[in-house]
Structure 1
Amino acid sequence: MATTPPPEPPEPAADAPHRATADTLLALVGGPDNIASATHCMTRLRLVLHDRARVRDAEVRAHPAVLGVVEDGDAYQIVLGPGRAARVTRALDALLARTPGAPAPATAVTAPVTAEDLAARGAALRADRARRNATRGKLLLRRVAAVFVPLIPALIGCGMLAGLNGLLVNAGLLPGLTPVLGALASAFMALIAVFVGLNTAREFGGTPVIGGAVAAVVVYPGVDAISVLGQPLVPGQGGVLGALGAALLATVIEKWCRRWVPEALDVIVTPTLTLLLTGLVTVYALMYPAGRAARAIGVGADWLLVHTGVFAGLVLGGLFLPLVMLGLHQALIPLHTTLIEQQGYTVLLPVLAMAGAGQVGAAVAVFVRLRGNRTIRATIRSALPAGVLGVGEPLIYGVSLPLGRPFVTACAGGAAGGAVVGLFSMLGTKVGSTAIGPSGWALFPLVQGNRGFGTTLAVYTGGLLAGYAVGFLATYFFGLTRSALAELNAEPAPEARTGREPAPV
């Protein structure tokens, strides 16, 4: 006798908007059969598509939940913002699993042409830069960055708990709870090498658990009984760099074994040989130099800011937006992670975060100067809160980069903010972050240094204010030419808002 499947549980009200967004985007990117894979990072839904031509690009960009679109190689990345990206991806996964062949609703939202022109121009510039920079070295850096990106949520959570624990300890509050918070904040960092090994093997085509197993030797307490070059090893020596190298080597050896080991013996011989050979190399040839390299990173970062703080801040803060535009900023994640592992915080991130302040100041200036352009002002108004919280892509690709000059003046604001933070580093006040990922105002709870929370927070705030001010003033006075102002402030007639070519700026 046929049975009726039980009804699906009601959808939580909080998830309904994300389900609706996923439903609409699924139709706009060509339906379920056009999606090869769907993943996400902190802010983006990353899709690999079978046929890019089936995407209704203008309608994707115009969707109210979409902050921008970035194309990087074969990945079509829809910027949704922190939190929303993960929820929409989960809803999309559910739709793909439930009805892999069913058509999705073809909901479309039409945006004003002027803002759409800027977004299209920004995407074209981004795609062109991506093609020019798709070198082997840079692609390798992006793959290495992909090892660390999945770790960012845990780094943020542990950093927040570490900051809360520090406040409670300094205030003498809840003494029974602070040891628990300390353990929760520190446990992940103590074993981060294992997670790096897992992700490295997964990213480079090895068996994840084997990558984690060989990386675990880096943090295994028993290595202190082993001497290399007359010096005993220290548990954790080499840190994430050693774990990354060990897992990469394990992946190479595993693939080599699978080419010649008979299938009947593969399940026994391949993992055994991989662990043995990789483990010996890791212990006797990798941990010591990786440890030296990790220490050099810490010493170098401190020296750079202490001795050349203003200049270093100018350069790092001014160049970070181009790195974000190219997607290469994630290649800095291993450096941040190494510094956090060594010192408890990374002194580089607050300097680099000033680039976002310059971007926000530039966007506000464009908003003020373009009083007659409702569409661009609406784009800025919707993207500015994300920019204040450190998510810069919507403003970069939707406003400053396609306009040209405001992107340069935003970099000037970032350079000014970085110089302020660098100046105080030269005066002896370090400003660091206990986690990576957040920026802008979202970094406030994670700020830490060597002069107390209040002083450190004041220096970071001063850098942000300098970035806002210089980014605003530079853009207001130099970011838009007279002809650009006249053209952009001329609102197009309603009947002319379709199919118009972007005006040169």
Structure 2
Amino acid sequence: MNPDQIAKEIFAVIGSKEKIHSSECCMTRLRLELDSLSDDKLAALKKINGVLGVNQTESELQIILGPGRAAEVTKCFQELLKGSDSKASETKSAPSFGDGRELHAKIRAKNATPVKLFFKRVADIFIPLIPAFIACGLITGSVNILLRLFPEAASYSSILLLKIAGNTIFYALNIVVGWNASKQFGGTPALGAALAVLISHPLLSSVTLFDSPLVPGRGGIIAVLLISAAASWLEKHVRKFIPEMLDLFMTPLIVFLIAGTLAILILQPVGGIIAEAIGTAAYTAVKSGGALTGFILGGIWLPCVLLGVHQAFTPIHAELLSQTGVTILLPILAMAGTGQVGACAAVYVKTKNHALKKTILSALPVGIMGIGEPLIYGVTLPLVRPFVGACIGGAFGGAVQAAFTVGASTLGLSGLPLAAATDNPSVYLLGIVASYIAGFIATWLIGFADPVEEEEK
């Protein structure tokens, strides 16, 4: 089914344009802020050809469509909203009396905890960078595989250019993180980017403060996040007392000078301490704990995803990538998704419910490719016990990855595609197989309550 038709069917099921408050695309999903839908309408959405799953949390509806298709359907959906003069669009209009959006915002604010808001803000900073990480990581991984097979190719111009291409994201990482972070914290993005350049400037090494030379780039993205947050807070307060006629040039000057001074003297050193602690903790945990650490992390990751705390790991992955070129956590955590594949395969074999078999059959291919939402919300979570089986599968797969300290040169990938971006593809694939088998066996032994066919009720 084409994206336009999927968008029209989703729009038709929701029923009232007045219910929709905003719409946006998030990698694999169409996210809608709207008044809650009935169970019947949620079931109708799940039956739309092209919809892989549906998840409703508080006043947000997530319609899982998969990579690529999600962006296309979102674009078509927003065009439908614009054409119908709905209140939801990419650019939200000013609220009018009685339109409900102010009340809706208050309800969301009441339900949103500081922790949830923090994790969401962190995710919003890094999610736009994931395509670049994927592209560069796959290039780096592919080059590494090629050089293992043909070591003599290391001096080829084409290989050297590909190596440069694979490292590109790291040369701009601080700048784009500074831009996105300032945007999320309510500041001027360009100032955040400029401050990120300041602490990364090569000439910093020629400056000595307190009998120690400055270190360009120290603290990485952690320092950039701290500086962007401080600069954004400062900018909001500076604007309160700067006259409008002077605001254009005085505000950025004052903010840059004060925030830049704080960055060099305090925030970059603090960021450096935190970043070094993150790197040391991650490598110590995996290398000293080995398979046990991987077993624990791989086993608890699916519950972390459900609780939303997984978003906090994104800057940790990014910091490890900027420090060492690989993240040793991602291959471990990716096993949670592969454990689901094994668990769902067991459900497929045991169930007598044809609708459930059809759901699994349509969701397994994308699950193998690392997109786990359809399996989580369509199979394992509703059945409960297979979710436990999936966690067990993830634990065994994580143990394999940690035992061999497999690293990945990207973030945002999972499942089979991640193999190309790891420094040990054969061991990574071995971990996937272990996760498949463990998830299958655990789910088979634990069992589940097989849902009755609708016509039999």
State whether residues 73 and 131 of structure 1, in contact with CA within 8 Å, keep that contact through their aligned partners in structure 2. Answer: no
The TM-score, its normalising length taken from structure 1, stands at 0.80
Whole-Å separation in 2 of the counterparts to 1:99 and 1:492: 36
**1:400 match: secondary structure:** helix
Question: Which amino acid is 2:381 matched to?
Answer: L
- In structure 1, the partner of 2:422 is 447
CA displacement 1:215-248 (0-9 Å, x = unmatched): 2212222222233443212221111111111111
Q: CA deviation at 1:423?
A: 2.4
Q: Equivalent residue for 1:414?
A: 394
Q: In structure 1, list runs of 5 or more residues that go unmatched.
A: 1-15, 103-129, 425-429, 449-455, 497-505
The residue matched to 1:431 in structure 2 has which SS?
Answer: coil
> C-alpha deviations, 1:393-437, integer Å up to 9, x for none?
11111111111111111111111111122223xxxxx31111111
1: CA distance, partners of 2:196 / 2:207? 16
Quote the Cα distance in structure 2 between the aligned partners of 1:82 and 1:434. Answer: 20
Question: Which aligned pairs between 1:478-489 and structure 2 lie closer than 5 A?
Answer: 478-480=446-448, 484-485=449-450, 488=451
Which of 10, 13, 23 aligns to 1:38? It is: 23
Shift of 1:97: 4.2
Which residue number in structure 2 is paired with residue 385 of structure 1?
365
Shift of 1:493: 2.0
Taking only aligned residues, the RMSD between alpha carbons, in angstroms, comes to 2.4
Distance 2:379 2:284 in 1: 36
Match of 1:217 among 194, 198, 212: 198
Query: What does residue 462 of structure 1 align with?
Result: 430
TM-score, length basis structure 2:
0.88
Judged with a 3 Å threshold, the aligned counterparts in structure 2 of structure 1 residues 181 and 260 are, in CA distance, closer, same or farther, namely: same
The correspondence for 2:344, drawn from 343, 363, 370, is 363
Q: 1: CA distance between counterparts of 2:261 and 2:250?
A: 16
Contact kept? 1:418, 1:463, Cα under 8 Å: yes
Question: Are residue 147 (structure 1) and residue 109 (structure 2) matched?
Answer: no
Secondary structure at the counterpart of residue 345 of structure 1 = coil
Q: Match of 1:337?
A: 318
Does the aligned pair in 2 maintain the 1:61–1:68 contact within 8 Å?
yes
Q: How many residues align?
A: 433
Q: Which amino acid aligns with 1:175?
A: Y
Structure 2 unaligned regions, length at least 5: 88-107
Looking at structure 1, the residues matched to 189 and 109 of structure 2 have their Cα atoms a distance apart, in angstroms, of 30
Deviations 1:222-278 (A, max 9, x none): 222233443212221111111111111111011111222222222122111111111
TM-superposed CA distance for 1:154, in Å, is: 0.6
Q: 1:193: which partner in 2?
A: 174
Tell me the equivalent position of 1:249: 230
Residue 191 of structure 1: SS of its match in structure 2?
helix
1:426-452 deviation per Cα after TM superposition (whole angstroms, max 9, x unaligned): xxxx3111111111101111111xxxx
Once residues 179 and 38 of structure 1 are traced to their aligned partners in structure 2, the CA distance between those partners, rounded to angstroms, is 42
> Match of 2:36, as an amino acid?
R
What residue in structure 2 maps to residue 137 of structure 1? 115
Supply the distance in 1 between the matched residues of 2:79 and 2:194 (Cα, whole angstroms): 32
Q: Which residue of 2 aligns with 1:438?
A: 413
Give the conservation status (yes or no) of the 8 Å contact 1:22–1:92: yes
CA gap of 1:404–1:101, structure 2 versus 1, over 3 A, is closer
- Code of the residue aligned with 1:195 in structure 2: it is V
Name segments (4+ residues, structure 1) moved above 6 Å.
130-133
Q: 2:383 aligns with which of 386, 403, 408?
A: 403
SS in 1 for 2:54: strand
**SS of equivalent residue, structure 1 residue 433:** coil
Q: By how many angstroms is 1:30 displaced? A: 4.1
Instruction: Give the structure 2 partner of residue 348 of structure 1.
Output: 329
Cα distance per residue 1:84-122 (max 9 Å; x no partner): 1122222333444455359xxxxxxxxxxxxxxxxxxxx
